[in-house]
Amino acid sequence: MPTITRVPALTGAPDFNNATNSHLVTSTSPSSWMPNMTLPFDHQRRHWSAGLAVVLAAALVVLALPARADAPRGFLETVKRHVTLTSTVPDNGDQNPYALVVAPVSAGKIQKDDVLVDNFNNISNLQGLGTTIVHYNPSTKKTELFAKLPHNLPQCPGGVGLTTAMTMLKTGWVIVGSLPSNDGTTRTRGNGCLLVLDSNGQLVDTWTGPDINGPWGNMAVIDNGTSATLFISMAGFDLPGPQVRDPSSGYPITLHKATVMRIELTIPPGKPPTIQNKTVIGSGFSARADKGDFLLGPTGLAIAPDHTLYVSDALDNRIDAISDATTRTTSAGTGQEITKDGLLSHPLALMILPNGHLLSCNAWNGQVVEIDPLAHKQIYAQWIDNNQAQSPPGNGDLFGIAMRPDGKAFYYVEDDMNTIVESR
């Protein structure tokens, strides 16, 4: 099925600053296609005669008119470049950037619009042993250590291994999930916890309990200043090591015990947030241990203005919706399926775009997928990581994503290169 070829002068075709190409794929395209490595338009046209160039240019304008009438259909059409900003590796050598959060305020070490990233792996590249958060300032282009926690933290069951579950509140408090391991696999995992840090990166509180088990996916947050509501997926319940196999498939066993929890906070002036209520609003999601990926489970969460919570269900390769997420008192199970398969290839982090669409990054290739959730339609995908060292390109490289505050670009991490990248 066809790719969408863009002429730079007319549509702003994406290009990489450090890769060979980037382009869009329609929702009718197969998930297995490979990047087009042909020369860009500008390289080819210098060989044309002047007369032919004029004729072709006129023809292109005519052909472009119908597309302009209803274009752009989505956000990804406006993305032109992917620019590497900084390394995420701190002095202790932690690797594998996971969560990515844009600071809503200036407080302590952090300036408003700084980009915070945590690391899931340690210097030996063992998963579940990363303990650091770095912050990048887009104005000064400096990257500094924000927090370094001890791996062996007694108040967090199993210790510290920082996950994609992270946010910074308007009051300056940073909340981050831990799903720790001692050997880099779920065989030695602990239940983990939620860690509360002040704006200088100091630990001030730890939240644990029987319903907090493997806080995993990127948080969706409603922040009202003196109160806030967090939505977090919990993927650790009863998950064994990857050596425990399903005899029928040969893969590690799949459990259907992962949940999505709503946590309601109050934030007294000058004091850390406290939990007022916890409610499981989603349950029965698939989770599976994986030697290469640590675990596979519900990873992306995004809350819409109508209080619908969207969940990326990685193992079942779909996006689900939980209605009335801010008020419901019971679990919606796995919610309503919004879209499945197609351009999705193990969807991970999820966010809502300024146009109301969803953007999800794929785990099993280097694409992001734009989705119209109201129409239940995948619009198209774009390669944002076409690293040929993996097959398919970019396989396993993407994880956290977040919008730039002006709504015109987004940040993402490339965990193969340990970098923050900006798409704009």
* Structure token pair of residue 87: 């390394």
Quote the distance between the C-alpha of residue 314 and its chain's center.
Answer: 12
Q: Which of 119, 149, 124 is nearest to 134 (CA)?
A: 119
pLDDT digits (tens, 9 = 90+) for 205-239: 999 999 999 999 999 999 999 999 999 999 999 99
**The predicted structure's pLDDT at residue 415:** 87
Asked which of 44-58, 112-126, 192-206 is least confident by mean pLDDT, the reply is 44-58
**The predicted structure's pLDDT at residue 40:** 30
Q: Over the chain, what is the mean pLDDT?
A: 85
Angle, CA 333 vertex, CA 232 and CA 351 arms, to 5°: 40
pLDDT digits (tens, 9 = 90+) for 127-159: 999 999 999 999 999 999 999 999 999 999 999
Asked which of 56-65, 229-238, 316-325, 410-419 is least confident by mean pLDDT, the reply is 56-65
Average pLDDT over residues 87-106: 97
82-423 homologous superfamily: TolB, C-terminal domain (2.120.10.30)
Q: What pLDDT band is residue 307 in, cutting at 50, 70 and 90?
A: very high
Question: Could you give the C-alpha distances from 252 to 236, 284, 293, 313, in angstroms and in order?
Answer: 14, 17, 12, 17
Q: How many residues does the chain have?
A: 424
Widest pairwise Cα distance in the chain: 76
Q: Where are the chain's structural domains? A: 3-75, 82-423
- Is 60 exceeded by the pLDDT of residue 59? no
- Is 60 exceeded by the pLDDT of residue 42? no
**The predicted structure's pLDDT at residue 392:** 81
